[in-house]
Amino acid sequence: MRGAQGFRVTLPIFLALIVGWLVSGGIAPTAGQGGRVAPPSPTCTAGTRATPAQTEGPYYKSGSPQRTALTEPKSAAPKLIVTGYVLSRSDCRPVSRAWLDFWQADERGNYDNVGYRMRGFQFTDNAGIYYLETVLPGLYPGRTRHIHVKVRAPNGPTLTTQLYFPGEQRNQTDGIFNSALLTTVRDGAGGKVATFTFIVDLR
Ligand SMILES: [Fe+2]
């Protein structure tokens, strides 16, 4: 009898612990459509501050190809997925068909200023989600690790900014670094998964 009573007492506690773990975000990332990693639901308060703009830097090139994967088949560079939502600042609604143009250094810290390696644009899906398969950008003199991006809601103004990674030593010394642009990074299948929510103004 004591065992049965103990079970009756501990089962609700066990269930409560499971529910608490799930609510706190402890669940492993789920695979979305096409086996993609689904980003966690974003937190957003209507009227919140827009994602801060940053300098474009010297290496932006217009005319990049439309693609969600910048990875190269024979590359052994550490894989990175960057994903998340584009939300409107006024009401936190997902922005579908938002344009995002990414460019970054390769794993050795070099930009391709001749062709379009490590450059590509895409649009958010109907849920306002973007998804980039790339490699961890290498370091180059004077900067911490970062990825450049331009984001524009349909008919909205263009936001030019950069994304950063937590735990980077150079975040402390890079004069351009802004902690509001830190991604959240976790380990995923085959590499790192960085998530970031862009909050943009609509016109
Ligand atoms: Fe850069």
CA of 23 to the centre of ligand 1 (A): 37
CA of 104 to the centre of ligand 1 (A): 6
- What is the chain's mean pLDDT, rounded? 87
CA-CA distance, 147 to 144, in Å (whole number)?
A: 10
Q: How many domains would you assign to the chain?
A: 2
**CATH code for the domain in which residue 176 is found:** 2.60.130.10
CA distance to 55, 70, 101, 163, per residue, from 116 (Å): 20, 9, 12, 19
Same-domain check for residues 55 and 90: yes
Same-domain check for residues 14 and 81: no
What mean pLDDT comes out for the span 127-147?
97
CA of 97 to the centre of ligand 1 (A): 26
CA of 173 to the centre of ligand 1 (A): 15
Read off φ and ψ for residue 175, nearest 5 degrees. -70, -15
* Angle ∠(181,185,189) on CA atoms, nearest 5: 145
Does 70 have pLDDT greater than 60?
yes
Contact assessment for residue 120 and residue 66, using Cβ atoms and an 8 Å cutoff: yes
CA-CA distance, 50 to 88, in Å (whole number)?
A: 9
- Residue 14 pLDDT level (bands cut at 50, 70, 90): very low
Same-domain check for residues 101 and 160: yes
CA of 57 to the centre of ligand 1 (A): 6
CA-CA distance, 27 to 5, in Å (whole number)?
A: 30
CA of 9 to the centre of ligand 1 (A): 57
CA of 41 to the centre of ligand 1 (A): 28
Same-domain check for residues 7 and 84: no
Contact assessment for residue 140 and residue 110, using Cβ atoms and an 8 Å cutoff: yes
Contact assessment for residue 201 and residue 50, using Cβ atoms and an 8 Å cutoff: yes
CA of 157 to the centre of ligand 1 (A): 22
Same-domain check for residues 17 and 74: no
Tokens of 47: 């009227």
Does 4 have pLDDT greater than 80?
no
Same-domain check for residues 66 and 137: yes
Same-domain check for residues 73 and 127: yes
Q: Round to the nearest angstrom and report the end-to-end CA distance of the chain.
A: 68
Q: Which pLDDT score, from 0 to 100, does residue 66 have?
A: 98
> Residue 74 sits in which domain range?
32-200
